[in-house]
Amino acid sequence: MRGETPLHQIPEVVILRLPLYVRVLAELESAGADVVSSQTLGRLLHSTPAQIRKDLSYFGRFGKQGRGYRVGHLLRELRQIMGLEREWSVVLVGVGLLGKAILSYQGFAPQGFHVVAAFDADPELVGTTVGGLVVRHSEELAEVVRELKPQLAIVAVPAHACQRVIDHVVATGIKGILNYAPYQAQVPDGVWVRDIDPVVTLQSMTYYLKGSDGKAAAVPASKRG
């Protein structure tokens, strides 16, 4: 027992940082590192040693004062905490230009995420093969979920269809949704949605680039959101 803090007491921003810890630790392990200090982790993650120690303390005690963290051990522990020691099945709803790009992306499977089915309501897309998958009609979603039991869904539909599609996904029992639509859908408690909207992200950066005279504001190059 690691002595983790109850999930509801862990700030969401800490959860969102965990994948970054895993990525850096995996890179360190591949490079042959055996031990890493909070100072080094802080430098690699553009954070502070104190923040590193505080984040990890939510999940237990992994290192010793003055001795740092064992890279392999901490990586395995964090992967288990995040559920990354297992494989995850994913369905995609929406096979437009973005959906096709997602199906063609080769970065999911090496990290344990496997897109097992794709759906669209467009008759011209249904029955076509994209990324090795035959596109099925959206009406078949519930049946396929019962058969394949995916745990996650990616939604890549227009904004006007987003809430309806996500309601449909939630009704199948899927609890984790990655939403690429420029719309913040409402979901019941116990369902987790992550929104990815490149336009909103770009708009948030223009604040830093716009000075009062229209020139770029002076912001440290390392400043990241």
Counting residues of the chain whose pLDDT is more than 70, the rounded percentage is 88
Render 141-173 in DSSP notation, one character per residue: HHHHHHHH--SEEEE---HHHHHHHHHHHHHTT
- Residue 81, pLDDT above cutoff 70: yes
Model confidence at 162, pLDDT cuts 50, 70, 90, reads very high
SS3 221: coil
Residue 47's pLDDT is what? Answer: 95
Segments of the chain assigned to CATH 1.10.10.10 = 7-82
Q: Which residue intervals of the chain bear CATH 3.40.50.720?
A: 88-200
Write the CATH number of the domain with boundaries 88-200.
3.40.50.720
Q: Which two tokens stand for residue 16?
A: 């969102």
Cα angle at 103 between 114 and 19, to 5 degrees? 55
Residue 163 has pLDDT above 50, yes or no: yes
pLDDT of residue 110: 93
Looking at CATH, the fold of the domain delimited by 7-82 is given as Arc Repressor Mutant, subunit A (1.10.10)
Q: From CA 131, how far away is CA 103, in angstroms rounded?
A: 5
Q: What is the mean pLDDT of residues 12-19?
A: 94
- Torsion-angle region of 22 (φ positive above 0: left; ψ -120 to 50: alpha; else: beta): alpha
